Amino acid sequence: MANSDIQMDKDRAVNFLQLVIAGNIDEAYEKYVDMGGKHHNAFFPAGFSNLQTAMKEDQAQSPHKQITIVNVLSDGDRVAIHSHLRRGSDDMAVVHLFRFKDGRIVELWDCGQMLPQEIPNRDGAF
């Protein structure tokens, strides 16, 4: 895989998350997702259409989310994004792992960790 392809997949993954957080979920899916692919979020039924619906429902409940991208890593067809997600009074550390094929997301994993209001670790979560 050429370096330019890797960088383009990193840019696609970042833009996908930014569009989702901004509430432009349909645009994010149209631009970047292969709807025949799969996600691994254990809270929702299989299929990207189900995850897309869940994202729209979350947007309706929490329209003022913010994301700060902390790290973007890539290895071949995979891109990992470590970010700080703010949803109202909740703060989370989140990692999204994307697998790309032909410039489209064909597989997605996500995991998150709620952050306490008072963090005892002087190094912080990020």
Is residue 97 one of the residues assigned to a domain? Answer: yes
Q: Is residue 120 part of a domain?
A: no
Which two structure tokens, joined as six digits, stand for 38? 């799969």
Name the residue range of residue 90's domain: 3-114
Report the CATH number at residue 7. 3.10.450.50
Q: Is residue 123 part of a domain?
A: no
pTM of the full structure: 0.94
The SS3 of residue 76 is coil
Is residue 2 packed enough to be buried (19+ CB in 10 Å), middle (13-18) or exposed (0-12)? exposed
Q: Is the pLDDT of residue 4 over 90?
A: no
* pLDDT at residue 1 tops 90: no
Instruction: Tell me whether residue 125 is in a domain.
Output: no
Helix and strand counts by DSSP (H, E) for the chain: 3, 5
Residue 37: inside a domain? yes
Mapped onto helix, strand or coil, the DSSP state of residue 57 is: helix
Number of compact structural domains in the chain: 1
4-8, 32-36, 115-119, range with the lowest pLDDT: 4-8
For residue 101, being part of any structural domain is answered with yes
